[in-house]
């Protein structure tokens, strides 16, 4: 199975830092966000990945390419640990690129992958600004659902009711534990109109027929071609409450929280970072007394 990673958005919620830097390249602790996404695909058994980019996204291509000058410098100076890390990035998978020439929505970005996945029964989609962690990679769990039931599957998670308007949301029909038939999908519904609190989290395994549905889908929320709207017309779609945790790097606060959480998992700096956070909190408390 091939994977598609849409990474063409402008990242306006991160301005000014994203004026010349793709939001997918923002570091989460010690890696750019999109590297975690690529690693998830690779850990799921996928080695053919198409990244859909746009204007100003060249640094994504550079990151996953070889860097002869840097590798030579590291080798010459005996920095072998860093050398191995840098070399491993360019050897993760076969990575290809296509540009979304206009900002016309996620559905249109996926449609840009049509030629690359032509002939495949299904393909995986991983949003480039969403990280997941779990024992079995999230996209691998969806691949298993697809293989068992023979239809498109999307990952969902329960979100607080007041936050449903940030997401696409499914109308679920329970099939078995953690698995639903998605009877309907609504993109960013008002709280009072949301059919559930099961939000689509940016991981999909889609049958190739989705391209026909995208082609026939008119612009929706925000005047964009929404993937959620295209998926509504699929014959069968499963929503899977995946086992794991999602990190949506879609705004500054969530990005910062994720980076801190990932840093705290590194035993080499955990103690020092915890001491620093405690000191900041103590100073804040004293200032507010």
Mean pLDDT value across residues 97-125: 90
Cα angle at 50 between 204 and 164, to 5 degrees? Answer: 30
Mean pLDDT value across residues 97-109: 88
Eight-class DSSP state of 121:
S
pLDDT of 69 > 80? The answer is yes
Identify the burial level of 44 via C-beta atoms within 10 angstroms of its C-beta, where 0-12 means exposed, 13-18 middle and 19 or more buried: buried
pLDDT at position 289 is 66
The partner residues of 237 in beta bridges, in order of sequence, read: 152
pLDDT at position 55 is 80
- Name the least confident of 79-93, 145-159, 196-210, 213-227: 213-227
pLDDT at position 120 is 83
**How many C-beta atoms surround the C-beta of residue 223 within 10 A?**
9
Average pLDDT value over all residues in the chain? 90
Of 225, 5, 203, the closest CA to residue 93 belongs to 5
Query: What does 51-89 look like in DSSP terms, one character per residue?
Result: EEE-TT-HHHHHHHS--HHHHHHHHHTT-HHHHHHHHHH
- Residue tagged 């360019």 (tokens): 90
Q: What are the pLDDT digits (tens) for 221-268?
A: 777 888 888 998 898 999 999 889 999 887 888 899 999 999 999 999
Mean pLDDT value across residues 201-209: 93
pLDDT at position 150 is 92
Of 146, 139, 138, the closest CA to residue 122 belongs to 146
Calculate Rg over the CA atoms of the chain.
20
């Amino acid at each position: 199975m091939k994977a598609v990673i849409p990474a063409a958005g402008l990242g306006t919620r991160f301005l000014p830092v994203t004026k010349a830097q793709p939001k997918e390249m923002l570091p989460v602790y010690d890696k750019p966000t999109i590297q975690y996404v690529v690693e998830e695909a690779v850990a799921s058994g996928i080695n053919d990945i198409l990244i859909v980019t746009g204007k100003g996204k060249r640094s994504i291509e550079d990151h996953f390419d070889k860097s002869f000058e840097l590798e030579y410098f590291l080798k010459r100076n005996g920095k072998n640990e860093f050398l191995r890390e840098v070399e491993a990035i360019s050897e993760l998978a076969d990575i290809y690129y296509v540009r979304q020439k206009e900002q016309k929505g996620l559905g249109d970005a996926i449609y840009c992958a049509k030629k690359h996945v032509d002939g495949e029964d299904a393909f995986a989609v991983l949003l480039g600004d969403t990280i997941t962690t779990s024992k079995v990679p999230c996209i691998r769990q969806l691949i298993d659902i697809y293989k068992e039931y023979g239809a498109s599957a999307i990952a969902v998670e329960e979100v607080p009711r007041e936050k449903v308007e940030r997401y696409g949301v499914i109308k679920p029909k329970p099939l078995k534990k953690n698995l639903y038939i998605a009877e309907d999908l609504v993109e960013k519904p008002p709280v009072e109109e949301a059919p559930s609190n099961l939000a689509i989290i940016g991981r999909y395994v889609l049958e190739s027929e989705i391209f026909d549905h995208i082609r026939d889908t008119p612009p929706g929320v925000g005047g964009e071609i929404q993937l959620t709207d295209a998926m509504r017309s699929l014959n069968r779609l499963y929503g899977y409450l995946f086992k794991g945790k999602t990190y949506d790097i879609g705004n500054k606060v969530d990005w910062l929280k994720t980076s801190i959480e990932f840093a705290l998992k590194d035993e080499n700096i955990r103690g020092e970072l915890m001491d620093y956070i405690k000191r900041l909190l103590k100073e804040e408390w004293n200032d507010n007394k």
